[in-house]
C-alpha cells in the first residue's frame, strides 16, 4: 500500500514537476518586465517626456531596483509554492455561511493569509523603494526640529511609507481571502485545447483590466481602514523604533491627509503591480497544470507500465493525474486513430482486450458512482418533503422488472441494476454501499471475461462473489427486496427518538456481515445532528449561518462532474469509433453494459433537473477573471450525456436493435434513434 | 452589412432569410423576413413558430448535431439557442426555451457553425476580429483572436470536424484546425472569399472569391491526430471550374448564363455540388441560376457539369442547401425569391459510400412545403 503511494507520488512529481518549474520560471522571468513598466509609470512626467524616459531608463539599472527584483523573485517563488500547495481540481463549495466561516479560520487558510500579508508588505516595500521620492524611507530627518545642535538630528516617521506598507499587507490579505472565496485554487480545464502562449496572451488583457479595477477598490478600502485604525500602527511603530512624529506634516488619518492625490496614485499603482505579478504567477500555474498530458496506452518498455493510461485509470492516483488521464482519454478518442487502435488491440500472449477492459471498466465505474450519488441526493430531497416518494420507487420497480426479463448471460446487467435499486435505500446507509462498489467492480470483471468463456475466469468471479459480504443478497432477490423495508422502518423508529431501534438494525447487520456496523453509528449521529439543528434553527442569527444555499449544495454534488464528462465523451467516442475501427469486436461485448449505464444515468439526471430547487438554466456569467465554470458543470454533464447517447445511436443505427437490453431501455433507445429525446 | 455578407442573394428583400436542415432527421427551420422562425417536420403537422424579443435580423441558423432539437440562431445582438421539445405539440414555444449567448463587441452575428461532434458552437461577426467558441451548455466562450483582416464573415466547419474555414471582409481567409486551434492564412488576389464548402472527408476545400467567376480548390493533407497544430494545406489553390458568362442555345432561345458564385453547397456524399451563380448586374438578361455539378473526390478530383435549375418565371433562387442525410442520393433545397421552397431530389447510388441498407423503395416523396417546380431535364446516370 505504502509502496503504491510512493509510486503515485513519483508519478505526480514526474507529471506535475516540470510544469510547476516552468510556470515559476516564466513568472520570475516576466517580473523584470513588470518592474520596468511599473518604474516608468510611477515616475510619469507628461511635461518633460524625454527627461522622463531617460530617467526611467537610468532607474532600471540602479542597485536598488536589482535588489528589489531579486527580493520579489523570492516573493513570487513563495506565492507559487502556495499555489501548488493549495490547488484543487475539484472545488470545495461551502454549503452554508458557517462552512465558509470555518474555512476562513481554518489553520491552513490562516497561514495562507498571514504569509500573503507579509508578502504583500514586502512587495509594497519594494514598490516604495522603487518609487523613490517621499516614499522611499520609513524614517526621515525631521523638518520641524530646527535643533540648535545639528549633531543630534531627530528622526521622524515617514507616514507615507508606512501607509504604503500597510496597504501592501492589506492587499496581500485581501488577495488571500478572495483566493479562498472565489475558489481561485480551482483548476478549470479549458474547453478547447490551445497552445500555452496563446492561452496566456488571451487572458492577459483581462488580467490587467481586472487587476486595475480590483486595485481601485482596494485603495478605497485601505483608506477607510486607515482613517479609522491608522493611529494604532503609527503609534506602535513610532514607539518601537523611537521615531518622532513630524508636526509640520499632516497626519494621514485625517480627511485632508488622505486626499493626497500622489499618495493615492502610488498606492493604486503599487496595488496593480502586486496583483498583476501574483495573478500572472497564478495564471501561468493554471495554464501549465491543465495542459493535456500524453499518457501512453501501451507501454513500450516494461518500466513504463505504471505510466500507461489503463493502469493509471484503474489505480487510485492523485486527482489531478486522474483528471489528466481522463482528459487524455477524451482527446485520444477524438483525434488519434493510432492510439484508438491500441485501445482496441488484444494483449500479445493470451489475446485479452486488457486495455479496453480497463478503460471501459473505470469509465463505467465513474458513471455508476455518479448515478448512485444522484439517487442518494434525490432520496434526501424526497425525505425533506420536497418531492413525492413514489418517483424514486418507480425507478426501482422498473429496474427490478427489467431484472426479471434478462437472461443468464446478462448476469452483469442484473447485478448492476441490483446495485442501483439498492441505492434506493435511505441515504443513511452510505457507508454500507462501499462493499457494494467493490462487488460491482468484481462483477464487471467477470462479465468482461465471459465472452471468452474461460471457465477458470468464471470460477474466479464466482469466488469473488462468495467473498463479498453481499453474496447472499445478490443471489436471492428475496433478501434484497426485504432490505430496504427493514431500513426504512428502523430509521422511522429512530426518528421517534427510541434507542431500541438498534435491535433490528443489528439483526439485519448479522445477515449482511459486519460491514454495516458503522452505518448504525452514523445513523445515530446524524439523527442527533438533525435534532440539534432543528433546535437551533429557531434562532435567527444561527439560522443565517446554518441555512443551506440550495444552489451551492447542488453545485457541490456536481463539483467533480468534469471527470464524468470526459468519461462520457471518451467512452462514447471510442464506442462510435469501434463501429469501423474495432477489428476484434472487443467493444461489442461491453456494449449492453455501456448502454445500460448511460440510460440509467440519463434517467437519473433527468429526474435531478426536475427537482424543484434545481434551476434549469445556467446563471449569467460576467466577464470576470475568476473561473466560475464549476458552477455550471451540471449543465455540461447533461448536455454531454445526451450527446454521448446520440453519438452511439447515430453510429450504430438499426444495429442497436440486436443489442440485448431490457425492454424499457429498448424503448428509450428507439426514442433516441428517432431523435425524440 | 448583414445583407452584404449573407449567403442569401438578396437578404434584405427576400422573404426567406435563412434556412437550416436538421443534420439527422427530415426537419428544417426557415427564418422569415418578420424575424420569426418556423420549424417544419415531415413527421408532424405542427409547425412551431419561434419568436423572441432579441430575435432580430436573423442571418444564419444551425441545428446542433447529435441532438434532437437545439437550434442556434444568429441575431443582430446575440446568438439565441432554442431548446425545442421534439414531442411537444405547442406551436408557440415560450421565449424561456431560448438561451441567450451574448458577448460584448460581438454583433451583428452573421455566421454560425456547430462542431460536427456537437460539443462546440462557433459564432462570427464581421465587426469582431475574434470568433467565439461557445460551450453552449455552460455559456462559456473562448474568443479566438487574430490580428489583421477585420472580422469574420463566413464560417464552414468541415464534415469530419478537423478544420474550419473562416472568411474575412478583406482579401484573406483562414483555415483553422480544430484541435489546437492554430490557423493558416490564405491571401486571395482579387477580393474577399465569398463562400466555401468542404468535401465530406475534409480533405478538399472549394471556395470562390468576390469579383472572379471561378471556383478554386484547395487540398489538405490527410488528417490524422498525430500532427498537432498543423493545418496541412497545399501551397496554392487551383482553379477547377470557370463559370464566366456563356451563351446557351435552348428551345426558348438564347440564354446567357454565368457569373460570380454567391453560395456553394456540397452534398454530404460528395457526389453533387450546387452553386448559386449570380448574373452580371450590367446585362439585364443574365439572371441568377443554380448550377449543379457531378463531383468525385477520390482517387482524383473531378468536377463535371450536370445541369441547371430554374424556377417559375420571375422566380430567382435565393438560397440553396443539401439535405444532410438523404439516403437515396442527394436532395437539394432551393428557396426562391417568391417565397417558395422546393426540394429537388437526385437519385443515384453513391460509389464511394455505399449505403449499409441499400434500396428500401424508390419512391420520391419529399416535398414537405408544397412546391411546383419546372425543372430542366436532369440526368444523373451512374
| A181-238: pLDDT as tens digits | 888 889 989 988 889 999 999 899 999 999 999 999 999 999 999 999 988 888 888 8
C-beta atoms of A632 and B140 within 8 A: yes
Predicted TM-score of the model (pTM)? 0.81
Q: Shortest CA distance to B158 belongs to which of B56, B244, B248, B270?
A: B270
pLDDT at B43 over 80: yes
Which chain A residue has the Cα nearest residue B143? A202
pLDDT at A4 over 70: no
The answer to whether the beta carbons of residues B248 and B257 sit under 8 Å apart is yes
Which is higher by pLDDT, A436 or A562?
A562
The B residues from 182 to 211 touching A (CB cutoff 8 Å) are 182
B68, B142, B356 ranked by CB distance to A676: nearest? B68
pLDDT at A661 over 50: yes
pLDDT at A541: 67
Q: Which residues of B touch A620 (CB under 8 A)?
A: 139
**B87 min Cα distance to partner chain A (Å):** 6
Which is higher by pLDDT, B300 or A270?
A270
Looking at residue B279, the DSSP 8-state letter turns out to be P
- Omega cis (within 30) before A236: no
Q: What is the mean pLDDT of chain B?
A: 84
* pLDDT tens digits, one per residue of B46-63: 899 999 999 999 999 999
A336, A569, A642 ranked by CB distance to B226: nearest? A336
C-beta atoms of B225 and A629 within 8 A: no
Work out the pLDDT band at A45, boundaries 50, 70, 90: confident
pLDDT at B297 over 50: yes
pLDDT at B360: 33
pLDDT at A308: 87
Which chain A residue has the Cα nearest residue B122? A192
The A residues from 515 to 574 touching B (CB cutoff 8 Å) are 569, 573
C-beta atoms of B356 and A621 within 8 A: no
Q: Which residues of A touch B68 (CB under 8 A)?
A: 646, 675-677
The B residues from 42 to 81 touching A (CB cutoff 8 Å) are 66-69
Which chain B residue has the Cα nearest residue A565? B119
Angstrom distances, CA of residue B279 to CA of B4, B194, B243, B245, B338: 16, 15, 10, 8, 18
pLDDT at A409 over 70: no
Place of cell 464524468: A564
C-beta atoms of A191 and B133 within 8 A: yes
B66, B84, B161: best to mutate for the A interface, most A CBs within 10 A: B66
Residue A318 sits at the vertex; the CA angle it makes with A315 and A322, to the nearest 5 degrees, is 65
Which chain B residue has the Cα nearest residue A653? B356
Which is higher by pLDDT, A247 or A16?
A16
**B114 min Cα distance to partner chain A (Å):** 13
Mean pLDDT for B207-226 is 82
pLDDT at A386: 46
**A190 min Cα distance to partner chain B (Å):** 9
Which chain B residue has the Cα nearest residue A332? B225
- Omega cis (within 30) before A122: no
**B41 min Cα distance to partner chain A (Å):** 12
**A356 min Cα distance to partner chain B (Å):** 20
B86, B139, B229 ranked by CB distance to A621: nearest? B139
Mean pLDDT for B248-269 is 84
Query: What percentage of chain B exceeds 90 in pLDDT?
Result: 45
Which is higher by pLDDT, A221 or A411?
A221
pLDDT at B295 over 80: yes
**B258 min Cα distance to partner chain A (Å):** 40
Dihedral sign, Cα of residue A350, residue A352, residue A355, residue A359: negative
DSSP secondary structure of A220-282: HHHHHHHHHHTHHHHHHHHHHHT-B--SSSPPTTSHHHHT-HHHHHHHHHHHHHHHHHHHHHH
Work out the pLDDT band at A676, boundaries 50, 70, 90: confident
Residue B25: CB atoms within 10 Å: 19
A565, A566, A609, A675: best to mutate for the B interface, most B CBs within 10 A: A675
In this structure, of A216-220, A295-299, B227-231, the range with the lowest mean pLDDT score is B227-231
pLDDT at B89: 85
C-beta atoms of A654 and B143 within 8 A: no
**B233 min Cα distance to partner chain A (Å):** 18
C-beta atoms of B67 and A650 within 8 A: no
Q: Where are the domains of chain A?
A: 11-141+155-290, 302-383+548-674
Q: What is the mean pLDDT of chain A?
A: 77
CA atoms within 13 A on the CB side of A148: 0
Residue B94 near chain A (CB below 8 Å)? no
pLDDT at A454: 39
pLDDT at A474 over 90: no
Query: How far apart, in whole angstroms, are the C-alpha atoms of residue A202 and residue A194?
Result: 10
> Residue B377: which residues within 8 A CB-CB, separation 6 or more?
B307
**A434 min Cα distance to partner chain B (Å):** 32
B68, B119, B139 ranked by CB distance to A675: nearest? B68
Residue A348 sits at the vertex; the CA angle it makes with A344 and A353, to the nearest 5 degrees, is 35
Q: Which residues of A touch B355 (CB under 8 A)?
A: none
Reduced to 3 DSSP states, what percent helix, strand and coil does chain A have, rounded to the nearest 5? 75, 0, 25
pLDDT at A438: 39
Query: What percentage of chain A exceeds 70 in pLDDT?
Result: 73
Amino acid at each position: 500500500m505504502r509502496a503504491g503511494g510512493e509510486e503515485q507520488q513519483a508519478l505526480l512529481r514526474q507529471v506535475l514537476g516540470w510544469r510547476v518549474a516552468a510556470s515559476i520560471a516564466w513568472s520570475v522571468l516576466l517580473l523584470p518586465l513588470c518592474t520596468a513598466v511599473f518604474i516608468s509609470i510611477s515616475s510619469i512626467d507628461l511635461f518633460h517626456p524625454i527627461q522622463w524616459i531617460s530617467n526611467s531608463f537610468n532607474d532600471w539599472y540602479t542597485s536598488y531596483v536589482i535588489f528589489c527584483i531579486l527580493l520579489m523573485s523570492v516573493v513570487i517563488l513563495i506565492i507559487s509554492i502556495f499555489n501548488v500547495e493549495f490547488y484543487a481540481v475539484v472545488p470545495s463549495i461551502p454549503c452554508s455561511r458557517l462552512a465558509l466561516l470555518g474555512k476562513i479560520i481554518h489553520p491552513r487558510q490562516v497561514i495562507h493569509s498571514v504569509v500573503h500579508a507579509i508578502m504583500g508588505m514586502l512587495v509594497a516595500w519594494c514598490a516604495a523603494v522603487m518609487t523613490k521620492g517621499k516614499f522611499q524611507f520609513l524614517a526621515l530627518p525631521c523638518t520641524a526640529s530646527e535643533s540648535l545642535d545639528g549633531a543630534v538630528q531627530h528622526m521622524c516617521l515617514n507616514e507615507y511609507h508606512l501607509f504604503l506598507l500597510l496597504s501592501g499587507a492589506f492587499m496581500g490579505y485581501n488577495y488571500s481571502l478572495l483566493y479562498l472565496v472565489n475558489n481561485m485554487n480551482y483548476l478549470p480545464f479549458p474547453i478547447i485545447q490551445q497552445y500555452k502562449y496563446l492561452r496566456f496572451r488571451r487572458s492577459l488583457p483581462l488580467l490587467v483590466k481586472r487587476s486595475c479595477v480590483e486595485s481601485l477598490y482596494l485603495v478605497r478600502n485601505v483608506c477607510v481602514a486607515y482613517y479609522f485604525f491608522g493611529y494604532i500602527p503609527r503609534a506602535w511603530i513610532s514607539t518601537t523604533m523611537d521615531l518622532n512624529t513630524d508636526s509640520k506634516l499632516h497626519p494621514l488619518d485625517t480627511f485632508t491627509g488622505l486626499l493626497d492625490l500622489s499618495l493615492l496614485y502610488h498606492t493604486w499603482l503599487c496595488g496593480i503591480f502586486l496583483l498583476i505579478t501574483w495573478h500572472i504567477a497564478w495564471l501561468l500555474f493554471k495554464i501549465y497544470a491543465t495542459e493535456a498530458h500524453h499518457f501512453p496506452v501501451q507501454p513500450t518498455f516494461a518500466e513504463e507500465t505504471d505510466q500507461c493510461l489503463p493502469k493509471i485509470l484503474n489505480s487510485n492516483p492523485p486527482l489531478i493525474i486522474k483528471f489528466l488521464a481522463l482528459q487524455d482519454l477524451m482527446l485520444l478518442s477524438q483525434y488519434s486513430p493510432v492510439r484508438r487502435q491500441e485501445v482496441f488491440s488484444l494483449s500479445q500472449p493470451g489475446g485479452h482486450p486488457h486495455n479496453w477492459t480497463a478503460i471501459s471498466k473505470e469509465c463505467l465505474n465513474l458513471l455508476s458512482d455518479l448515478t448512485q450519488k444522484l439517487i442518494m441526493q434525490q432520496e434526501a430531497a424526497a425525505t425533506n418533503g420536497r418531492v413525492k416518494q413514489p418517483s424514486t420507487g418507480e425507478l426501482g420497480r422498473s429496474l427490478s422488472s427489467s431484472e426479471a426479463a434478462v437472461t443468464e448471460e446478462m448476469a452483469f446487467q442484473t447485478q448492476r441494476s441490483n446495485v442501483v435499486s439498492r441505492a434506493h435505500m435511505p441515504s443513511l446507509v452510505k457507508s454500507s454501499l462501499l462493499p457494494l462498489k467493490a462487488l460491482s467492480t468484481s462483477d464487471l470483471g467477470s462479465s468482461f471475461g465471459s465472452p471468452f468463456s474461460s471457465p477458470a475466469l468464471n470460477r474466479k468471479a464466482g469466488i469473488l462473489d462468495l467473498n463479498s459480504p453481499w453474496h447472499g443478497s445478490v443471489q436471492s432477490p428475496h433478501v434484497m427486496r426485504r432490505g430496504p423495508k427493514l431500513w426504512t422502518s428502523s430509521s422511522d423508529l429512530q426518528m421517534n427518538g427510541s434507542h431500541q431501534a438498534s435491535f433490528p438494525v443489528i439483526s439485519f447487520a448479522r445477515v449482511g456481515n459486519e460491514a454495516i456496523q458503522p452505518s448504525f453509528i452514523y445513523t445515530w449521529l446524524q439523527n442527533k445532528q438533525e435534532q440539534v439543528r432543528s433546535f437551533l434553527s429557531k434562532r435567527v442569527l444561527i439560522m443565517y449561518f446554518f441555512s443551506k444555499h440550495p444552489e451551492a449544495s447542488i453545485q457541490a454534488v456536481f463539483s467533480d462532474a468534469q471527470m464524468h464528462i470526459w468519461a462520457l465523451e471518451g467512452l462514447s467516442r471510442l464506442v462510435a469509433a469501434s463501429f469501423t475501427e474495432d477489428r476484434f469486436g472487443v467493444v461489442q461485448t461491453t456494449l449492453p453494459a455501456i448502454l445500460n449505464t448511460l440510460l440509467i444515468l440519463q434517467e437519473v439526471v433527468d429526474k435531478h433537473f426536475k427537482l424543484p430547487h434545481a434551476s434549469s438554466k445556467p446563471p449569467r456569467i460576467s466577464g470576470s477573471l475568476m473561473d466560475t465554470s464549476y458552477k455550471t458543470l451540471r449543465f455540461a454533464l447533461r448536455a454531454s450525456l445526451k450527446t454521448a447517447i446520440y453519438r452511439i445511436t447515430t453510429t450504430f443505427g438499426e444495429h442497436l436493435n440486436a443489442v440485448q437490453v431490457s425492454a424499457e431501455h429498448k424503448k428509450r433507445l428507439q426514442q433516441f434513434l428517432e431523435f425524440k429525446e | 452589412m448583414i445583407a452584404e455578407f449573407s449567403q442569401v442573394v438578396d437578404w434584405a428583400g427576400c422573404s426567406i432569410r435563412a434556412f437550416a436542415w436538421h443534420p439527422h432527421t427530415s426537419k428544417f427551420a426557415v427564418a422569415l423576413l418578420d424575424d420569426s422562425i418556423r420549424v417544419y417536420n415531415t413527421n408532424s403537422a405542427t409547425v412551431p413558430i419561434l419568436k423572441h424579443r432579441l430575435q432580430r435580423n436573423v442571418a444564419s441558423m444551425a441545428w446542433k448535431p447529435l441532438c434532437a432539437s437545439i437550434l442556434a440562431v444568429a441575431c443582430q445582438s446575440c446568438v439565441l439557442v432554442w431548446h425545442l421539445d421534439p414531442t411537444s405539440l405547442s406551436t408557440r414555444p415560450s421565449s424561456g426555451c431560448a438561451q441567450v449567448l451574448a458577448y460584448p463587441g460581438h454583433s451583428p452575428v452573421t455566421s454560425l457553425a456547430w462542431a460536427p461532434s456537437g460539443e462546440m458552437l462557433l459564432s462570427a461577426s464581421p465587426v469582431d476580429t475574434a470568433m467565439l467558441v461557445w460551450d453552449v451548455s455552460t455559456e462559456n466562450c473562448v474568443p479566438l483572436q487574430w490580428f489583421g483582416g477585420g472580422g469574420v464573415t463566413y464560417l464552414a466547419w468541415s464534415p469530419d470536424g478537423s478544420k474550419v474555414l473562416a472568411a474575412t471582409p478583406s482579401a484573406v481567409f483562414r483555415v483553422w484546425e480544430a484541435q489546437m486551434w492554430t490557423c493558416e492564412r490564405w491571401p486571395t488576389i482579387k477580393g474577399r472569399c465569398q463562400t466555401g464548402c468542404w468535401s465530406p472527408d475534409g480533405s478538399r476545400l472549394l471556395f470562390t472569391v468576390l469579383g472572379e467567376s471561378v471556383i478554386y480548390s484547395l487540398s489538405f493533407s490527410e488528417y490524422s491526430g498525430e500532427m498537432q497544430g498543423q493545418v496541412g494545406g497545399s501551397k496554392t489553390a487551383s482553379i477547377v471550374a470557370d463559370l464566366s458568362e456563356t451563351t446557351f442555345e435552348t428551345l426558348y432561345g438564347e440564354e446567357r448564363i454565368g457569373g460570380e458564385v454567391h453560395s456553394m453547397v456540397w452534398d454530404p456524399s460528395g457526389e453533387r455540388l450546387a452553386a448559386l451563380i449570380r448574373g452580371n448586374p450590367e446585362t439585364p438578361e443574365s439572371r441568377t441560376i443554380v448550377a449543379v455539378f457531378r463531383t468525385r473526390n477520390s482517387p482524383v478530383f473531378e468536377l463535371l457539369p450536370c445541369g441547371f435549375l430554374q424556377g417559375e418565371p420571375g422566380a430567382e433562387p435565393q438560397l440553396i442547401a443539401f439535405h444532410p442525410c438523404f439516403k437515396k442520393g442527394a436532395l437539394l433545397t432551393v428557396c426562391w425569391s417568391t417565397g417558395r421552397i422546393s426540394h429537388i431530389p437526385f437519385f443515384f447510388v453513391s460509389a464511394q459510400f455505399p449505403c449499409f441498407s441499400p434500396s428500401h423503395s424508390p419512391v420520391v416523396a419529399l416535398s414537405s412545403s408544397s412546391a411546383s417546380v419546372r425543372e430542366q431535364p436532369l440526368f444523373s446516370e451512374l
